[in-house]
Amino acid sequence: MKNEEMIQFRKKHFLPTATLYHKNPMQIVKAQGEYVWDSEGKKYLDAIGGIVCISAGHNHPKIKRALMKMLDEDTPQHTSTLYLNQASIDLAGRLLEESPEGLDRVAFTNSGSEANDLAFLAARQATGETMIMNLRHGYHGGTAGTLAQCGHGTWRFRAQPVAQATSALEPNCYRCPFGKVPDSCSLECAKNIETTIQTTTHGKIAAMIVEPVMGVGGFITPPDEYFKVAASIVHNYGGKFITDEVQTGAGRCGGEFLLTRELGIDADMVTMAKGFGNGAAIGAVLMKTEIAQSMSGKAYFNTFAADPFPAIQAKLTMDVIQEEGLIENAKVMGKVLKDGLTQMMKSHSLIGDVRGRGLMVGVELVKDRVSKAPATEECIRFMDECQERGLLLGKGGLMGNVIRIAPPLSIGREQVDFMLKVMDESLHALK
């Protein structure tokens, strides 16, 4: 089907909520390593990986061979969790090696939303409380339970089910909700968690969920010290601290496989998906034994969780990330990218802020640096200019003015230089 026909089909038969990137949306028909190709044969450097999902690289040869072998050997695609399945055990064992201390139970799901829903259920069961706290500008998924914890009006529906949810103010150093600047603040954002509990709840909560770098929110990067204060307040009020590593996990942030462990965050549960499966639909929750045990005597069932194909893909993704030193590479390449973008600020006043960790880099575009008025329309045009030049980027932020860069962790120096060159040219083209 031609692109235009496909667009018309989607308009007629898909939900009107289904959006497409770019003025000229393309069909991606081939993918290899850090690159994708459209139906006209044009090659692009994929610096967003679908949507922050490609960690080990598209169609990595080791993973591809293993999956082809599984098909050749008639390995069952589906077993359900009611039968023993070696791939799920291998994956769990490997994941537990990367788990923060004390989190020694693992549950698998098909997506990040389901992982977060399960974490909410477990926290509610363990505490006997129902209130979940989130952050404004946060995003945790599209299911009823997770959407209730969404900090973006654009994602919320009038008909959304009512749930016990309350929001603390976001730890955003570029647009501090308290009007502070990082060097002289007193972590008012973390302290706001306590005020929010005291003013909007009966004094106890089931949990707080935070993204260590806020993905959909535009790669908002809280200060490291935020998490210690935040977790301690949540624990003082009886709640469980959940880190949502759906975007930050799988080594993307360039320190450890999980940012929770790298930063020493005192989390009771960690959720993940996206880059964990390198394109396979798989999510996971790591939790403390005492939380898992509070669910004893009840059934929690997930038909496809850790079926052989997604489980083997996630396990091999973890192996590739380790064997090829991709976490260290994310750190080194992320720094080159961030330094290059920070340098670019000198010639492009449209760039208001460059932030992120490892290969999770956000570029906030503003009309001018004093008013910080969001450059929303420019952001769309900038992405199209980059697409034209063979570079795919993502977008985020409440006002849609933050460029999200999250390439495969295997990206090399030449590719980072290419990205910087294309972004520089595209910014010039906007003028």
Ligand X SMILES: Cc1ncc(COP(=O)(O)O)c(C=O)c1O
CB of 72 to ligand X, least distance (A): 29
Give dist(CA 124, CA 294) in Å, integer.
10
Tell which positions 271-310 bind ligand X, by CB under 6 A: 273
Q: Between residues 50 and 255, which has the closer beta carbon with respect to ligand X?
A: 50
Minimum CB separation of residue 309 from ligand X in Å reads 17
Q: Name beta bridge partners: 270.
A: 243, 286
Binding mask 118-147 for ligand X (x = CB under 6 A): ---------------------xxx------
Mask for 34-63, x = binds ligand X (CB under 6 A): ------------------------------
Give the dihedral sign, CA 329/331/336/340: positive
For residue 109, state whether it binds ligand X (rule: CB under 6 A): no
Q: In this complex, which beta carbon is closest to ligand X, that of residue 51 or of residue 70?
A: 51
DSSP-assigned letters across all residues of 367-424: S-TTT--B-HHHHHHHHHHHHHTTEE-EEESTTS-EEEE---TT--HHHHHHHHHHHH
The dihedral formed by the CA atoms of 305, 310, 315 and 318, expressed in degrees to the nearest 10? -110
Least separation in angstroms between residue 213's CB and ligand X is: 9
Edge-to-edge strands of the sheet including 394-396? 351-357, 360-365, 402-405, 394-396
CB 48, min distance to ligand X, A: 12
Please state the closest distance from residue 347 (CB atom) to ligand X, in A.
Answer: 32
Q: Are 305 and 108 in contact (CB under 8 A)?
A: yes
With contacts defined by CB under 6 A, how many residues of the chain interact with ligand X?
A: 14
Residues shown for the chain:
431
Q: Specify the residue, 129 or 211, whose C-beta has the smaller distance to ligand X.
A: 211
- Tokens 């929750």 belong to residue: 285
Binding mask 204-243 for ligand X (x = CB under 6 A): -------x---xx---------------------------
Q: Which of 88, 113, 221, 317 binds ligand X (CB under 6 A)?
A: 113
- Which of 242/320 has CB closer to ligand X? 242
In the complex with ligand X, which residue's Cβ is closer, 139 or 241?
A: 139
Q: Which residue is nearest to ligand X (CB)?
A: 112
3-state percent breakdown (helix, strand, coil) of the chain, nearest 5: 40, 15, 45
> Which segments of 47-148 does DSSP mark as H helices, in order?
49-52, 61-72, 86-97, 112-127, 144-147
Please report how the helices 413-430 and 376-388 are oriented relative to each other, as an axis angle in degrees rounded to 10.
Answer: 130
Q: How far apart are CB 157 and ligand X at their closest, in Å?
A: 16
Its sign, for the CA torsion 122, 125, 130, 133, is negative
Contact residue for ligand X among 247, 260, 329, 415 (CB under 6 A): 247
CB 114 within 8 A of CB 310: no
Cβ contact 295:74 at 8 Å = no
Any residues with CB less than 8 A from the CB of 383 and at least 6 apart, and which? Answer: 21, 22, 393, 395, 403
Contact with ligand X (CB under 6 A): which of 38, 98, 129, 244?
244
In whole angstroms, the minimum distance from the beta carbon of 52 to ligand X comes to: 7
Comparing CB distances to ligand X, the nearer of 51 and 380 is 51
Is 139 or 237 the residue whose CB approaches ligand X more closely?
Answer: 139
Q: Which one, 38 or 262, has the nearer CB to ligand X?
A: 262
CB count in 10 Å sphere of residue 78: 11
Q: What angle do CA 96, 100, 101 make, to 5 degrees?
A: 95
Shorter beta-carbon distance to ligand X: residue 112 or 358: 112
**Closer residue to ligand X (CB): 145 or 374:** 145
State the burial class of residue 81 (Cβ atoms within 10 Å of its Cβ: 0-12, 13-18, 19+): middle
| Residues near ligand X (CB under 6 A) | 111-113, 116, 139-141, 211, 215-216, 244, 246-247, 273
